[in-house]
Structure 1
Amino acid sequence: MQEAEIGGVELQILYPLQADEKEKSLQNYEYLSPGYFELIRFAADEAAARGMQFDLTLGSSWPFGGPFMPEELCGQNVLPFSIDVEGPCTFYKDLTTVIYGKVVGAVLGKMEGAQMMPETIVDITDHVVDKYLFNWPWGTEIEEIDIPAGLHKIVLFVSSDKKQRVLKPLRGGDGLIIDHNRKDSLRKFLEYGGDPIVEAVGQGKIQNFFCDSIEVFGHNWTDILYDEFRKRRGYELRPYIYALWGEIKGMTDQVRYDYQKTMAELTVENFFQELTAWCHEKGAVSRIQAHGTWGDILQAYGAADIPEGETFSAFDRYEVNTVHRKLAVSAGHVYHKPIISNESFTWLRFPRFVVSLENIKAAADSIFLDGINQIVNHGYSYSKDDDEKMLAFYASTNINHTNTWWKYYKKLSVYINRVCDFMQRGEPVVTTAVYLPQHDIWAETPIADTHMCMKLDERLQVACIDGIHKAGYWFDYVNDDVLKNWKDYGYDTLLLIECDRIPLETMEKIREFAEHGGRVIAAERVPSKSCGRMHYEERTAEICRIGSEMKEQGKLTVTSDKFESLIQELRRVKKPDVQIYHHPDTVGYVHRRTDTEEIYFISNVSINDIKEIIKFTKNKKGFCVFDPMDGKEKEIHQLNIAEDGIEVSVDLDAYQSLLFVFGQDIAFPSVEREKETKEKCLELSNGWTLEIPQKAFRKEYDILEGWEREPELKYYSGSGSYSKTFQISESAWQQLQDADTVLLELEHIGKTAEIYVNGTFVDTIIKHPYRVDITGLLKQGENRIEITAVNLLINRMIDPEYPERLEETILPQWPYASGGLNECRKERLFNWREREMVKEPYPSGIWGKVEITVQK
């Protein structure tokens, strides 16, 4: 890793992979055993010896939990049960074997239509009692109660005894997950699963403690809810508990809001903030993925020292990723967190082993364009050097020494380091704010483990958010904390999108923002409802009055939709920070500012070479522009200094990124004329020799074709060396001498190529365009080109002869029954899915045209 310029490691410990083999000194250690502590300490020391950062994911697997978590402190899962009764009557019900778990609330109410009448609701929780069998509690029953005349509904909320456990843990790590709403639950986990590790490894050796995404299922309750609800909301929840699932006339959304708001506050305070506090106690910082939580998502991310997003699935494209990235970035900006991290390349392709370095580069650029400035590779899953025992993680891109292209990963690693360096300088420049409609989601969602990020993404819609971003208006998501302190931020425009409910205090701050010159644009409608049950009517009336007055005074504009109409209004009131004239759907930007410089990251996330005009609004300083992939300065072809900024014309190669740095002491770059259309000088498509010593293979090709077509190489993954000797005639030599630039161009590469001309290394091609500059490397007479091509790992992995090594019976010396483990290993570890999904090998080597072209 160090040789590949990777700066640190995050150790995450999951399920065991192999059986114990004493003769090979292979031993699996139990979670929190002495051997477990020793291996973590060893890894931390080895990282420190190399000057590398060492981070640790607490627990074995996720969510946090383990065998030491008592049931009373674990995550609660409540389900509603209802019984329809017509009165008048006396009602009794034996619920033994009907419901399973603890009844946390029970109400009776009269129904009219599909709504429960609030004035008829009776709390009958005390009438739900244990039923005994020979003095043993055996079940549950509802004692006799009198039902008035009419149709009634009895509703019971039952906390199930079947609670979520830790997912895919190491042996000894199985157990219940924590209650993310309770400080004492988190502290119990840290007492057993955190403190001993720090003690064993040594305080200060672990720089970051990491919390993975909040993947809890059904965790929708906490035993402290009733008390906390009363303190925070000012009334009792239990009589109105039915509103969390059904309809109580006139108050459903208000009660749901108050419930969700209370759960949100508890998880931010008692989990996210408390975890960071513990990290500081241990001399470390927290790095937290908050996606998956039901809390105020910006507060949740912002509670971490390093908020972390995630890139999940085939996201090597330019698109705002609200669910896993943009919210984390916004939290970093509004809560002033200088480093915003990202778990990158998770499931970048499915099936595995088909990811190319080009895919990774494009995905990294997509991540940067959302504002991330630290990349965590996902990942370098441990594997032995022996290919026959390669153990690849099921969800990651296989970025390690077993991959065919690992030798060239350093090129990407250096690129990522350079971009992160510049993206961590100064402060982000963001003047547009999008207010998050979190209050509407809380009010409209029944009892659930609400995934706030997903709900926000669904409500706002990608087309809307992408439209704003790609129109040149780089934005932050903001919440009530930001608007209450709007003077502390640099936003000049606020967008209200899909926002019906808003706290009165926030609406008053929006009015204040507008009165001081801020622009307020509401898509389709103005917020018109308050939040929660207390003082709902009067607060709603005041919100409506403020909205009406702002519209009448011209301090708030309402657009007809959240798409084109919204963009038109934005363009009317302000100019984009950066304007991409020709390809805004594939070219994006990020803007940061230091005391002396304006820094812009520009990226073309597409397979096409393009000519682009970019306008940097309000900038008139000198600048330089370079490609962070190779550090070389980039030519510009037009420079226009206007009253409102600078226009630059530049060529962007496929998947190329540029850094523009403006500064008072930087001279303007020289303007280079655009080169004329390329001319073909030499056709080199025929007469190549391919050698693969590992397979004792050598063949001369008149017409190039992929080596996967050779029977003995069909499933070969690795490198192959192509070579060609050719003559340059006097006329061709003169054409080369007259050229400004000489290029070697290849039509197809599968998937990486290392180029040598006359024994001189030229470059490694890891992405489109498949061309390299060979100016000055050719000579009149005989020349030689050598190309080492590297294909993808997938071909080896679908080889019918490639071993899966899955034992179908109990493994020898395995310390516990292995039926469940074998199923987990079969599902997660081996390559049967690849064989099912990929029937033919991927193209390998080089094929098609090979040409030398010239530009004048």
Structure 2
Amino acid sequence: MKIQSIFKIGIFCFTFGNLSAQNPWPKITETAKPWTRWWWMGNAVDEKGLDKQLTTLNEAGFGGVEIVPIYGVKGFENQYIKYLSPEWMQMLQFTTNKAKSLNMGVDMAVGTGWPIGGPQVDEEDAATKMIVQTYTISSGEKFSEKIILKDQKQKDLKTIKLDIVTAYNEKNEAVILTDKITNDGFLNWNPDSGKWTIYAVFIGKTLQKVKRAAPGGEGYTLDHFSPNAVKDYLNTFDKAFGNSNYGIRSFFNDSYEVYNADWTPDFKNEFKKRRGYDLSPYIKYLVSNEENEIAGRIKSDYRETLSELILDNFTKDFTHWAHSKNSKNTNQAHGSPGNLLDLYAAVDIPESETFGSSIFDIPGLRRDSADIQKSDIPDFNMLKFASSAANVSGKQLISNETFTWLTEHFKTSWSQAKPEVEQVFLSGINHVFYHGTTYTPADVSFPGWLFYASVNFVPENSLWPHLTGLNSYVARTQSILQSGKSDNELLMYWPIYDQWANPKGKDVTFKVHNVEKWLQPTPMYENLTKLNKMGYSLDMISDKMIGESTSEDQKIQTVKEGSSYQVLIIPELTYLQETTLNNILKLAQNGASVIFQNVPKDIPGNFEVEKRRAKLKSLWAQIPFQIQSENMKIATFGKGKIVLSSDIEKGLEYLKIQREKLTETGLKFVRRQFDGGKYYFIVNHTAKDINQFIPLNYAGKQAVIMNPENGNSGVAETQNNSVRIQLKPGQSLILKNSETVDHSITKWKYIEKADSPISLNKAWQLTFKEGGPELPKSKKIKKLEPWTNFLEDPATQSFSGTGVYTTTLNLKKKNANDYLLKFDKLYESAKVIVNGQEAGIVWSIPFEINIGKYLKKGKNTIQIEVCNLMANRIRYMDQNKIQWRNYHEINFVNIDYKAFDASKWKVQPSGLDGEILLFPLYYSK
């Protein structure tokens, strides 16, 4: 073998293999294909436009759409359709019927814009907040002030109610005065001595309304903590849908972005029922800025109650409602004041989101600082909350709102999208929804209707002809990631009480946009990051999930349909429920292995603190630890083992848990198990070529390499539980490692040698196929250049569309096994046509394609159809003040949420640049 020689040459090609006689790929279902969020602007849809766009989306490789109505376009008001009206339902029925005929699926949001709300949300059901007013009173002093709400914004509301009134003296002794207030606000109480501060808590309203609402969807946002409010809200859909689900696969709820909602009318009673004591004597510690132990305990109980209310009264009820319609539900839990793991697990399809642009080491991957969000970088561990919940609770699909604000408008290439979606896959997610596609009527001209926060997956996008490259890649990859079960071996407990016990602030929301505050500074995060980099695969688990888990055959089984795990890790923490410790010990008793990073210090909350604290200590004392080494204690506990060490890695070594050493190369992976084997999805996001045998914990009896870019496959070379792979930066592969051997699959073709390349540095004919505002003139060029270099033709500066570079190649001999066409610089993607036959689409880094089977000895014609960005045409339109953005509400903003203006943009290079080289390749025998 000549692996090293190829590595030095650096041109080995992953894109080859062969389509086997026995196709190892699962069937590409509509769910495996990417879906897209489909905005209906003003609900101004009609059957002609719906038919056209669904057909176009289907042809581009989409498996489904997610309908989200939003604000409308100016000038089309007479075409608006009121949300959930009979006419709107008719359009929905047409959509689902058409989609079904195309083997596509349809989801829809339970509301317009976000967060959910609308005209059916009356004042009583609207998002609720506590409003606190303080007063002082001394003994012997007449208190004449009325205890009534002073907030002028709330004065006209009919549901305002005084909920709690408590007085505190200088010794912090409390007297509850709620029943001492008359209906007109007078206080019937005088203290016997001292000076007192009165805290009055009113039930108020946030007054927040639906953001980006569609016609017929305007109104207050919902009180997610109230079961009656949720029931009333969903009743509107019951009336519209009747006994039918109108063909909806799943009803969708967007991320929780309800601001200042920290109360609900029945909160006081719910708190007492759930926490075991009355909150009224402690209200001062919740609403004041005191930072002491009792404040932390009260706030922990308050936050836990909010979490349970949104779980029980909204999330679970939403799921039950969707099931009553014979549909599923999809929910974005992030942003809410609740345990994200439990909230994600309570729905059929947990959904996370990416927002902004990630950083990768892939050479040539464009990431212009002027075109990205400055603060938002998608966080890998944040993505894992949704996949962890799904894996632990046995959900097959985990979705993701993908590519939100990936770059500035009109500047996103498909090559930039590939590593971003791969990071989503690596986190365990397997059902992506692009963000997104805007419905445009059939007769609206370029650029059609557009949504302000999206990558434009619309037919008007000049890159659209090559979108099938990205979409087929996603479909093949997801067909694997939706097969079998997740194969993560470790569980990491989320110490949420350490978050909830923080005496600062009041409610705590776990948002995508502030992970640097609540997630990244934690020991759990540090452990997740370190262990993942080392090659361990992890899911997170909550207190509730631990309580629902069992232990059998030395493994932890979360639920019957869920995954099984080898070790439960309790990262460094302060607070642990005594009930959770008891459940952990039960798991160990029955054979589980557990690692504690430290001794739990205390119990959270303010109920029977001493009794529960003693219970925690008593349970811990039952563990018969023996000193193993300086930083490790071990205990045999029943059938299981418990390790106490600040060094989790050492604990895993002691327990003989193997990591995947392939990560030492810089490769990333995610693993799935199926009956008789395992899949590995492996990605090279490094700056270096990988051309070597990589070790695997599971190699099976046969390893098949599968290329998700083109569907090729072949049996890999293996030795000593290692598999030979060749991956350039930006490439990925799937390994199917099986216990059975399929002799019909031929060998994977590894590139062992390459002859000196043939340069296509010659004359080319440049023509233009489609696009606008007008086609540039055809031109003969002596060498490859972007068409934007030809300043003598003004049309080249404004054109967005497809340019075709054509040349001939005289191949004197054709004796290599294959030929690799490699681009130097490509702006942005290309279809390669050799001798009239389509060889494929070049859309991702590295920009190269195998064309050997299309070449012949002698004269060959090579055509390269290049699509560029929309940016130059939009720049032209803004420079010439051509109106194209004319929307109600936010209209259209740039990546910094300022008024969009492309008139001062530089012309984006478009076409081909540098050299194109043709490498003769030779395979291993």
Equivalent residue letter for 1:306: I
Question: 1:375 — aligned with what?
Answer: 432
Question: 1:478 — aligned with what?
Answer: 541
Question: 2:830 — aligned with what?
Answer: 753
Compute the displacement of 1:272 (Å): 0.6
Alpha-carbon deviations, 1:710-765, whole Å to 9, x = none? 3321121111011122444x5xx3xx52x343222111000101112233322210
SS for the counterpart of 2:79 is coil
Which structure 1 residue ranges, 5 or more long, are not aligned?
112-116, 132-139, 808-820
Instruction: Report if aligned partners of 1:77, 1:163 keep a CA contact under 8 Å in 2.
Output: no
Equivalent residue letter for 2:585: R
Question: 1:849 — aligned with what?
Answer: 915
Question: 2:575 — aligned with what?
Answer: 501
Distance in 2 of aligned mates of 1:776 and 1:670: 18
Is 1:149 aligned to residue 194 of structure 2?
Answer: yes
Instruction: Report if aligned partners of 2:355, 2:378 keep a CA contact under 8 Å in 1.
Output: no
Question: 1:629 — aligned with what?
Answer: 709
**Distance change >3 Å, CA 323–CA 658, structure 1 → 2:** closer
Instruction: Report if aligned partners of 1:255, 1:533 keep a CA contact under 8 Å in 2.
Output: yes
Question: 2:473 — aligned with what?
Answer: 415
Is 1:56 aligned to residue 108 of structure 2?
Answer: yes
Distance in 2 of aligned mates of 1:96 and 1:223: 17
Compute the displacement of 1:221 (Å): 0.4
**Distance change >3 Å, CA 547–CA 344, structure 1 → 2:** same
Question: 1:803 — aligned with what?
Answer: 882
Question: 1:195 — aligned with what?
Answer: 238
1:299-310 matches, within 5 Å, as 299-310=342-353
Compute the displacement of 1:790 (Å): 0.7
Compute the displacement of 1:833 (Å): 4.9
1:588-607 matches, within 5 Å, as 588-606=668-686
Is 1:538 aligned to residue 615 of structure 2?
Answer: no
Is 1:222 aligned to residue 264 of structure 2?
Answer: yes
Which deviates more, 701-710 or 712-721? 701-710
Equivalent residue letter for 2:423: S
Equivalent residue letter for 1:429: D
Question: 1:436 — aligned with what?
Answer: 494
**Distance change >3 Å, CA 460–CA 29, structure 1 → 2:** farther
**Distance change >3 Å, CA 187–CA 792, structure 1 → 2:** same
**Distance change >3 Å, CA 85–CA 666, structure 1 → 2:** farther
Compute the displacement of 1:804 (Å): 3.0
Distance in 1 of aligned mates of 2:234 and 2:217: 14
Which of 64, 80, 85 aligns to 1:28? It is 80
Question: 2:484 — aligned with what?
Answer: 426
Instruction: Report if aligned partners of 2:603, 2:609 keep a CA contact under 8 Å in 1.
Output: yes
Distance in 2 of aligned mates of 1:570 and 1:303: 31
Is 1:692 aligned to residue 692 of structure 2?
Answer: no
Compute the displacement of 1:635 (Å): 7.1
TM-score by length of 2: 0.81
Question: 2:167 — aligned with what?
Answer: 108
Identity of aligned residues (%): 26
Equivalent residue letter for 2:662: I
Which of 32, 36, 43 aligns to 2:95? It is 43
Instruction: Report if aligned partners of 1:93, 1:143 keep a CA contact under 8 Å in 2.
Output: no
Distance in 1 of aligned mates of 2:866 and 2:688: 22
Is 1:718 aligned to residue 801 of structure 2?
Answer: yes
Which of 594, 616, 626 aligns to 1:520? It is 594
1:282-297 matches, within 5 Å, as 282-297=325-340
Equivalent residue letter for 2:883: E
Instruction: Report if aligned partners of 1:500, 1:528 keep a CA contact under 8 Å in 2.
Output: yes
Distance in 2 of aligned mates of 1:673 and 1:415: 20
Question: 1:234 — aligned with what?
Answer: 276
Equivalent residue letter for 1:228: E
Which deviates more, 84-93 or 651-660? 84-93
Distance in 2 of aligned mates of 1:39 and 1:785: 46
1:311-330 matches, within 5 Å, as 311-315=354-358, 321=379, 324-330=382-388
**Distance change >3 Å, CA 84–CA 796, structure 1 → 2:** farther
Distance in 1 of aligned mates of 2:900 and 2:151: 43
Question: 1:122 — aligned with what?
Answer: 175
Instruction: Report if aligned partners of 2:126, 2:205 keep a CA contact under 8 Å in 1.
Output: no
Equivalent residue letter for 1:758: N
Compute the displacement of 1:401 (Å): 0.8
Which of 778, 782, 788 aligns to 1:708? It is 788
Alpha-carbon deviations, 1:51-72, whole Å to 9, x = none? 3212111122222211122212
Equivalent residue letter for 1:223: P
Equivalent residue letter for 1:18: K
Distance in 2 of aligned mates of 1:344 and 1:780: 45
Distance in 2 of aligned mates of 1:147 and 1:717: 82
Equivalent residue letter for 1:680: S
SS for the counterpart of 2:89 is helix
Instruction: Report if aligned partners of 2:127, 2:205 keep a CA contact under 8 Å in 1.
Output: no
Instruction: Report if aligned partners of 1:804, 1:830 keep a CA contact under 8 Å in 2.
Output: no
Which of 324, 345, 352 aligns to 2:403? It is 345
Q: Give the number of equivalent residue pairs.
A: 803
SS for the counterpart of 2:214 is coil
Which of 620, 645, 656 aligns to 2:731? It is 656
Is 1:78 aligned to residue 130 of structure 2?
Answer: yes
SS for the counterpart of 2:194 is strand
Question: 1:174 — aligned with what?
Answer: 218
SS for the counterpart of 1:840 is coil
SS for the counterpart of 2:409 is coil
Which deviates more, 514-523 or 332-341? 514-523
Alpha-carbon deviations, 1:764-798, whole Å to 9, x = none? 10011122222254444433321111111122222
Question: 1:114 — aligned with what?
Answer: none
Instruction: Report if aligned partners of 2:250, 2:328 keep a CA contact under 8 Å in 1.
Output: yes
**Distance change >3 Å, CA 282–CA 457, structure 1 → 2:** farther
Compute the displacement of 1:802 (Å): 6.1
Distance in 2 of aligned mates of 1:608 and 1:803: 46
Question: 2:848 — aligned with what?
Answer: 771
Question: 1:615 — aligned with what?
Answer: 695
Which structure 2 residue ranges, 5 or more long, are not aligned?
1-56, 155-159, 362-376, 552-556, 559-563, 627-633, 636-641
Distance in 1 of aligned mates of 2:313 and 2:240: 22
Distance in 1 of aligned mates of 2:709 and 2:80: 42
Distance in 2 of aligned mates of 1:796 and 1:244: 56
**Distance change >3 Å, CA 517–CA 203, structure 1 → 2:** closer
SS for the counterpart of 1:835 is coil
Distance in 2 of aligned mates of 1:831 and 1:482: 40
TM-score by length of 1: 0.87
SS for the counterpart of 1:380 is strand
Compute the displacement of 1:689 (Å): 2.4
Alpha-carbon deviations, 1:230-274, whole Å to 9, x = none? 222221111211121333865222221221222211111111111
Is 1:360 aligned to residue 417 of structure 2?
Answer: yes
Compute the displacement of 1:15 (Å): 0.8
Distance in 1 of aligned mates of 2:104 and 2:853: 40
Distance in 2 of aligned mates of 1:448 and 1:198: 36
**Distance change >3 Å, CA 186–CA 449, structure 1 → 2:** farther
Distance in 1 of aligned mates of 2:108 and 2:869: 31
Is 1:640 aligned to residue 684 of structure 2?
Answer: no
SS for the counterpart of 2:501 is helix
Compute the displacement of 1:129 (Å): 5.8
